[in-house]
């Protein structure tokens, strides 16, 4: 039984849930419209360019979680899932996930986006195992800090290695699907790396390496 590992944003989803959460907060008037949107867009561009400071970004994106009661956040998240996530769920992504499920593979989503946002999205795909950046929560309230290693770039490799040890698994026969050059460190680790609707940097690298390239958006 092999591992089938999936990036989430712009891979299984036809968009970026982290950036869309920021847009949702702006549209609902939960955060300052102009300053928050500008920062949200800037961080997203840095991510695309490959020069994102993950801790600076997390200080920004986790701050709103610390400013509201968890029950209110969950209510907003339900609205967010309906308004922003359901429209970008890709039928071909569901088909790919089901193909691996039918093969008996162990399914994992690994994402830099925090688990508050991504846990219910993983549930929508019927994927039990989620490795995501973890927001710190104390006494039922988010602190605005990150707990442990962010699941980003080499951090994804570290987090996956910890998961493998915890679950007694290995990477023999493993697949990893991703759109982003930020995931090259993990793509190099698996037996079957697949570039999914890749950014230009990953597409060039994948072609050089002879990796499979596919689209889930056709």
Q: Which residues are catalytic?
A: 7, 9
**Could you give the C-alpha distances from 66 to 25, 93, 132, in angstroms and in order?**
14, 33, 18
Find out whether 190 and 171 touch, Cβ atoms under 8 Å.
Answer: yes
- Of 209, 214, 208, nearest to 194 by C-alpha is 214
Cβ 175 vs Cβ 107: under 8 Å: no
Q: Give me 138's structure tokens.
A: 């104390």
Whose CA is closest to 21, among 144, 117, 140, 123?
117
How many angstroms separate the CA atoms of 119 and 113, rounded?
10
């Amino acid at each position: 039984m092999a591992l089938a590992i999936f990036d989430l944003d712009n891979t299984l989803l036809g968009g970026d849930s982290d950036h869309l959460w920021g847009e949702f907060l702006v549209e609902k008037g939960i955060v300052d419209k102009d300053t928050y949107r500008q920062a949200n867009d800037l961080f997203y561009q840095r991510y695309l360019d490959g020069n994102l400071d993950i801790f600076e970004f997390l200080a920004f994106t986790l701050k709103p979680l610390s400013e509201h009661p968890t029950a209110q956040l969950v209510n907003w998240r339900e609205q967010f899932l309906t308004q922003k996530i359901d429209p970008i769920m890709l039928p071909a992504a569901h088909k790919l996930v089901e193909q691996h499920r039918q093969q008996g593979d162990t399914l994992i989503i690994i994402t830099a986006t925090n688990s508050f946002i991504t846990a219910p999205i993983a549930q929508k795909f019927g994927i039990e195992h989620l490795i995501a950046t973890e927001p710190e929560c104390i006494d039922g309230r988010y602190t605005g800090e990150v707990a442990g290693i962010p699941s980003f770039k080499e951090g994804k490799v570290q987090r996956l290695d910890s998961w493998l040890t915890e679950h007694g698994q290995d990477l023999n026969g493993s697949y990893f699907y991703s759109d982003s050059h930020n995931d090259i460190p993990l793509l190099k680790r698996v037996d079957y790396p697949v570039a999914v609707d890749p950014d230009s940097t990953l597409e060039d690298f994948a072609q050089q390496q002879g990796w499979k390239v596919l689209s889930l958006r056709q």
